[in-house]
Homo-oligomer: A and B are copies of this chain.
Amino acid sequence: MNTRAVVLLSGGLDSATTLAIAREAGHDCYCLSIDYGQRHRSELDAAARIAQALGAVAHKVIHIDLGAVGGSALTDDKIPVPVAGVQPGIPVTYVPARNTIMLALALAYAEVSGAQHIYFGANAVDYSGYPDCRPQYMRAFEALANLATKTAVEGRALQLHTPIIELSKADIIRRGVALGVDYAMTVSCYQADAAGRACGVCDSCRLRRTGFEQAGLPDPTAYK
Contact = CB atoms under 8 A, between A and B. Distances in A.
Interface stretch (A19-27, A62-70, A175-183): A62-70
Contacts of A109: 69, 96
Given A69-B105, A69-B109, A140-B140, A99 B131 contact: no
B96 A111 contact: yes
A71 B111 contact: yes
Contact of A69 (B71, B98, B112, B144): B112
B66 A108 contact: yes
Contacts of A149: 96-97, 131-132
A149 B131 CA distance: 6
Interface residues of A, number: 44
B65 A62 contact: yes
A60 B112 CA distance: 28
A60 B71 CA distance: 14
A2 B5 CA distance: 41
Given A65-B62, A69-B108, A140 B144 contact: yes
A81 interface: no
A84 interface: no
A63 B65 contact: yes
Contacts of A104: 97, 100-101, 103-104
A6 to B, nearest CB: 11
Going nearest first, the 9 A-B pairs with the smallest beta carbon separation are A97-B108, A71-B112, A96-B111, A100-B104, A96-B108, A97-B107, A64-B64, A101-B104, A104-B104
14 contacts: A62-B66, A63-B64, A69-B105, A71-B112, A96-B111, A96-B150, A97-B111, A98-B108, A104-B104, A131-B148, A131-B153, A132-B149, A137-B148, A141-B144
